[in-house]
Amino acid sequence: MSFKVPLSRPFLEEDDVEEVLNVLRSSYLSMGPYIGRFERAIAEYTGVDYAVAVSSGTAALHLILKSLKPRKGEYAIVPSFTFVASVNVFLYEGITPIFVDIDERTFNVSPEALEDLLIRIEKGKYSLSGEKVDINKVKYFMGVDIFGQPLDWDRIIPLLRERNITIIEDSCEALGSEYKGKKAGNFGVAGAFAFYPNKQITTGEGGVIVTNDEKIYELSKSMRNQGRGKGNDWLLHVRLGYNYRMDEMSAALGYSQMKKIDRILDMRDRVARLYTELLKDVKGVRPPIVEDYTTKMGWFVYVVLLDEGLDSERVIKALEEKGIQARNYFQPVHLQPFFRDMDYSEGELPITERVSKRTVALPFFTSISEDDVRYVVESLAEVIL
C-alpha cells in the first residue's frame, strides 16, 4: 500500500549519490577508505576516541556485549519499551533479561522503577521462572535513549555504579542528542548507533560502536572481521568472530550524510516543533515531552500518547484510510510471542503496558513538508473523536 504521507523517508541528496558512485567507480567495495572516513566523522561528532562501523545497530550492540566477555547465567536489566534488538543481544549470549518499567513522560527507564527493582533483587524478592535472581549475577544494564531522548543519566548511573553493573548505551535512535550538553553514546562503556533508512542519517543497513575504551575498540574491530588479529592477516583468526563488516557503499553514504548532520537535525527539529505547536489544539493527544536535561534532541520518530480510553490501533487504521501511515511504537518486548514462551507475562510492567496501547508514531522525516504535517494533524483531530 502506498501512502500520501509515509511514516518515514530517507533524506538523500545528489552529493550522497555521488559519494556512493565514487565507490562503485573505484571497485573497492569493501574494507576500503570510506570505513575509516565514516568512523572518524562519527567519533569526532560524538566526542569519543574510537568508532567501529558495522553492518547494523544490532551487530554494534552484540559486539559491545561480546567485548565484555559475557557468561551464560548472568542477568541484564533492560527496558521492555524498546526495539527487540536491545534485548535479543543478551539472549544470543545466554544472558537472561530482567525487564524494568519506564517513566510515563519520557518512555525511558524510570530511575524510581530501576531502584525499586534493584532493591527487590537485593532483598531476594525477585524471581524469574521460579528462581531467585542473585544480585551478584546482574551484570549489565541496557540504557536505551528512546525515540532520541537520553535517559536521566545523573539519576541512573549512581544506582548501577554502586552495584558494579556495566552500562551499554543503546543510542541507536539518538544520534546527535545531548544530555546536559554531552552527546548520547557517552554514558556507558560503549554506545551504539543505527542507520536503517528511518534513522537521522542512513547507510541503508548499518551501525557503529562508539567508545573511549581501547579494549572494546580492539575487540570489536577484530570480531566484526571474523576474529582476525591486529594486522588483519587474511587467514589468521585469533578469536571467534563474525562477518559484521559495513561495506564501502554504506560507509560512503554515511560519510556523506555526516557532513550535513547539523542541517538534518535542525530540519527534524523544525518538523517536531511544528507538530507540537499544531497539536496544542488537538484534544486527546499528548505530544512528546522533551525534558530540560535533554539539551539537544536528535529526533528519531515523533510519537504521541493518546488519552486513556483511546485506542491506538483504531486511530492508526483511520489515519491510514486518509493516506497517512502511522505505527504503534512500541509493542512491549516482554509480550512478544517468543518472550511469552520464555515465561514473561502481562501485568509485570504496568506503565509500559498501559502506555504502549496508546502510542502512535506520526509521519516524521527530514524533508516532510509543512503542508503534510498540517494534513496529518488535521486528520488526527478528525479521527480521534
Binding of residue 56 to ligand PLP (CB under 6 A): yes
Q: How far is the CB of 170 from ligand PLP (least distance, A)?
A: 5
Residues 360 and 305: their CA atoms lie apart, in Å, by 6
Residue from 85, 100, 167, 265 in contact with ligand PLP (CB under 6 A): 85
| Cα-to-chain-centroid distance, residue 316 | 23
Which positions from 148 through 207 interact with ligand PLP, judged by CB under 6 A?
A: 170, 172-173, 194, 196, 207
Q: Residues binding ligand PLP: what is the number (CB under 6 A)?
A: 14
Residue from 10, 57, 111, 298 in contact with ligand PLP (CB under 6 A): 57
Using the contact rule CB under 6 A, the part of the chain among 56-64, 157-165, 285-293, 346-354 near ligand PLP is 56-64
- By beta-carbon proximity to ligand PLP, the closer residue of 74 and 173 is 173
> Do 324 and 1 contact (CB within 8 A), yes or no?
no
Spell out, one character per residue from 108 to 147, where the chain touches ligand PLP: x when CB under 6 A holds, - when not.
Answer: ------------------------------------x---
For residue 318, CA distances in Å to 209, 281, 313 come to 40, 19, 9
Task: Name the grid cell of 242.
Answer: 563474525
Binding of residue 58 to ligand PLP (CB under 6 A): yes
Residues 26 and 216: their CA atoms lie apart, in Å, by 32
Which amino acid belongs to residue 176?
G
> Helix 248-258 vs helix 14-26: angle between axes, to the nearest 10 degrees?
150
Binding of residue 315 to ligand PLP (CB under 6 A): no
Q: How far is the CB of 63 from ligand PLP (least distance, A)?
A: 12
Using the contact rule CB under 6 A, the part of the chain among 36-44, 77-85, 130-138, 283-291 near ligand PLP is 77-85
- By beta-carbon proximity to ligand PLP, the closer residue of 57 and 363 is 57
Residues 347 and 75: their CA atoms lie apart, in Å, by 21
Reduced to 3 states, what is the DSSP secondary structure of residue 72?
A: coil
> Nearest residue to ligand PLP, using CB?
57
Residues 169 and 41: their CA atoms lie apart, in Å, by 19
Residues 77 and 60: their CA atoms lie apart, in Å, by 18
Q: How far is the CB of 205 from ligand PLP (least distance, A)?
A: 6
Binding of residue 103 to ligand PLP (CB under 6 A): no
- HSE-up (13 A, CA, CB side) for residue 181: 0
Q: How far is the CB of 288 from ligand PLP (least distance, A)?
A: 15
Binding of residue 7 to ligand PLP (CB under 6 A): no
Task: Name the grid cell of 263.
Answer: 542541517
Find the Cα–Cα–Cα–Cα dihedral 90, 113, 342, 143, rounded to 10°. -20
- By beta-carbon proximity to ligand PLP, the closer residue of 174 and 384 is 174
Residues 206 and 53: their CA atoms lie apart, in Å, by 7
Binding of residue 329 to ligand PLP (CB under 6 A): no
Using the contact rule CB under 6 A, the part of the chain among 80-88, 261-269, 313-321, 366-374 near ligand PLP is 80-88
Angle 201-328-59 from CA coordinates, rounded to 5° = 45
Q: How far is the CB of 239 from ligand PLP (least distance, A)?
A: 22
Residue from 8, 46, 80, 86 in contact with ligand PLP (CB under 6 A): 86
Binding of residue 81 to ligand PLP (CB under 6 A): no
Residues 277 and 264: their CA atoms lie apart, in Å, by 20
Element (H, E) at 340: helix 337-340
Enumerate binding residues for ligand PLP (CB under 6 A): 56-58, 82-83, 85-86, 144, 170, 172-173, 194, 196, 207
